[in-house]
Amino acid sequence: AQSVAQPEDQVNVAEGNPLTVKCTYSVSGNPYLFWYVQYPNRGLQFLLKYITGDNLVKGSYGFEAEFNKSQTSFHLKKPSALVSDSALYFCAVRDIGVNTGFQKLVFGTGTRLLVSP
């Protein structure tokens, strides 16, 4: 089964500093990887995805993610953090049912990002 792991429950960074939120994956076949963000009292918002092509994927709000096949990682990054980036971030991988062909997402446990002024 496809899975992702987010090893950090929380990441703390000062505003203006670069940030990284880690994600590793375990899949059979080629991975389709996603990052979502959940702001307080809001739903999940799609940030970016990797399907194929360039290993560096650019997404919303200045975020980007680097796909690394040898390390089976898909870390989320931003060059300069903002206080408003404080939120809960989820990594996810697409899973397709063997018998149904139905696509669904399998999520990591989430990483809370706190950006201090």
Partner 1 sequence: DADVTQTPRNRITKTGKRIMLECSQTKGHDRMYWYRQDPGLGLRLIYYSFDVKDINKGEISDGYSVSRQAQAKFSLSLESAIPNQTALYFCATSGPGNTIYFGEGSWLTVV
Q: Does position 109 bind partner 1 by CB under 8 A? A: yes
Which residues within the stretch 23-42 sit at the binding site for partner 1 (CB under 8 A)? 32, 34, 36, 42
Whether 92 contacts 34, CB under 8 Å = yes
Q: Nearer to partner 1 by C-beta: 70 or 99?
A: 99
Interaction pattern, residues 54-93, with partner 1; x per rule: CB under 8 A: ------------------------------------x---
Those residues whose C-beta lies under 8 Å from the C-beta of residue 16, and which sit 6 or more positions away, are 80, 81
Q: What are residue 75's DSSP bridge partners?
A: 66
33 bridge partner residues? 50, 93
- Asked if 103 is part of the footprint of partner 1 (rule: CB under 8 A), the reply reads yes
Q: How far is the CB of 105 from partner 1 (least distance, A)?
A: 5
47 CB-contact burial (10 Å; exposed 0-12 / middle 13-18 / buried 19+): buried
Q: Where do contacts with partner 1 occur on this chain (CB under 8 A)?
A: 9, 32, 34, 36, 42-46, 49, 51, 90, 94, 97, 100, 102-110
